[in-house]
Structures are given as C-alpha cells and as structure tokens.
Amino acid sequence: MKRFPLGRFSVARIGFGAMQLPGPGVFGPPRDRDQALAVLRRAVDLGVDHIDTSQYYGPDIANELIRDALHPYPENLALVSKVGARRDESGGWLPYDEPDQLRRAIEDNLRSLGVEQLAAVNLRSMDDATSDERFDDQLTAMIQARDDGLIGGVGLSNVTRERLLRALERTDVACVQNQLNLVDRASIPVLEECTSRGIAFVPFFPLGSAFVRPNPVLDNEQVLNTAERLGVTPVQVALAWTLGLAPNVLLIPGTSSVRHLEENLAVADIELDDQARQHLAAVAG
C-alpha cells in the first residue's frame, strides 16, 4: 500500500478510525466488546499503522479498547487523537476548547492510551464563529504540548483554508482533518492547500455522515450504479474516489466489523476507470 508522511511517521494511506467502536451515537460501551477488540487486532495484522481516535469517543471507550487490544503498541503505529470537545451525561457534544482544557484533554488521551507521546493531535474546531484571537490562544496550547513532547505534531480539524494559513505562520501542521466526500466537497480548497505544502489530509465522513439517513453518498444512484458495474461495494467506490483525489489523502474508515474492515482495506487495490470518474463527478450536491 502506498504511504505518506504523518509527523515523524510514514503511514499507509488507509488507516482505521475508532469512532464506530463505542456504542450507538459514539456513546457508551460497544454492543460486542470482543468483536471490537478483534477488529483492532485484525487491522494491525493487515498492515494498518495509523489509528485515529479521541478521548470523547465513548467517552473513554475507544481509547480503552485500543489499549486493551494493542498495548504494547508496534513501534510503527501512529496514534492520532483530537481535542476540543467533550460529552455530556446524555451523549451530547459540547465545546471543551479553553487552552487549559486542551492541555488536560491531551494528557487524558496519553493516560488512557498508555503512551508518553501521540503521533499528532488535531485541534477540533466546534464553533465556526471562533475569533482569530481565541484560535491563536488555542494554537499556543497545542504548540506548547508539542514542544513539551506530549504530541509529535499539531493537527487541525474542521478548519478553513484561511485559518490553516494563519496557523502555518506560527507552526508546522502535521495533518488536517476535515469533512470531505463525494457529495460534500467544500473542503477541496483546503485539500489543495495541503497538497501543495505536503501536509497529510485526513477526510472524515468520507462515506457521508454516520448520523444522516438516507446516506447521501452510499444511497446515491451514481454510486450504486458504479459499484454494480465494477463488481465492488458502494463503500469501496466512495473510498476509492476519495483516496484518488491526491497523494496526501489518508483514509481512516471506521467499522466494528472484521468483514467490513477487510473490504475497506481492499480499496487500496481498486482503480476507478474513466467512466466511473465521469459519472461520480456529477454526484456533488
């Protein structure tokens, strides 16, 4: 599988996202804990060396599963997390992005995963109206965590191109994690900026939002028709399209099923032909 730099690591371009390991709504324990552990172990057995997680997946659940399944970790395994949010008692998503809260969240990730340093941590923006001044304070906390050796690289999530450029005036950026898929292509300018600068771009919701039904990507007629013609699944079509956007795209499809994990990783060997790309170009909403 082709590779791309992620901080000090060089990772396969298809990794694993831990968001689907906890219970429904990314909240509470998994329906089948043994299966969740088996998925993580199988992923590493198949060459996955980039796992994306967060302390607020569960909360705590995803990180605990990763540690129970894989610790002590392979030396080449890049563990990446994100900070900037927390969960309330009913599973609601709330900001947790004051500088001291970001630092505390990074330390919580380190403790729960059982590591001294994470490959990178993404500063997740939960508020589009965050001022430049507030963003600068948040970025200062992330830079300090890197300089203190807690994280290998500073990442940004849910960020505009303008905010990315502002960050780059102060620090290297290891990765950017924004929503991008066949239907939602609003982050293409951010991807292009990352590509030109050699920054890893990690699309979240590459299959459409996990919280929206019907799924705007996987239930799209062009995607379904392309999958049938090529003899692959709609998920594989959507992932192959995303992977083919640029060489710095790193996929992190998540699943709680070993079979689906294997299907996701098989995307590395799927080439979309010109007809497929032409048809999929018309999908964007």
Residues known to be catalytic: 57
Cβ-in-10-Å burial (0-12, 13-18, 19+) of 34 comes to exposed
Phi, psi of 86 (to 5 degrees): -150, 170
Q: Which helix (H) or strand (E) holds 39?
A: helix 33-45
**268 close to 14: Cβ distance less than 8 angstroms:** yes
Residue reference for tokens 């294997």? 262
The amino acid at 171: T
Taking the C-alpha atoms of residue 231 and residue 111, their distance in angstroms, rounded to an integer, is 44
Q: Give the CA angle between residues 207, 212, 213 to the nearest 5°.
A: 100
Greatest distance between any 2 Cα atoms in the chain = 53
Taking the C-alpha atoms of residue 134 and residue 232, their distance in angstroms, rounded to an integer, is 46
- Beta 120-124 vs 78-83: how paired, if at all? parallel
- Give the count of alpha carbons within 13 A of 231, CB side only: 0
Q: Is the torsion defined by CA of 240, 245, 247, 250 positive or negative?
A: negative
Q: Which helix (H) or strand (E) holds 230?
A: helix 221-230
Residue reference for tokens 């919580």? 108
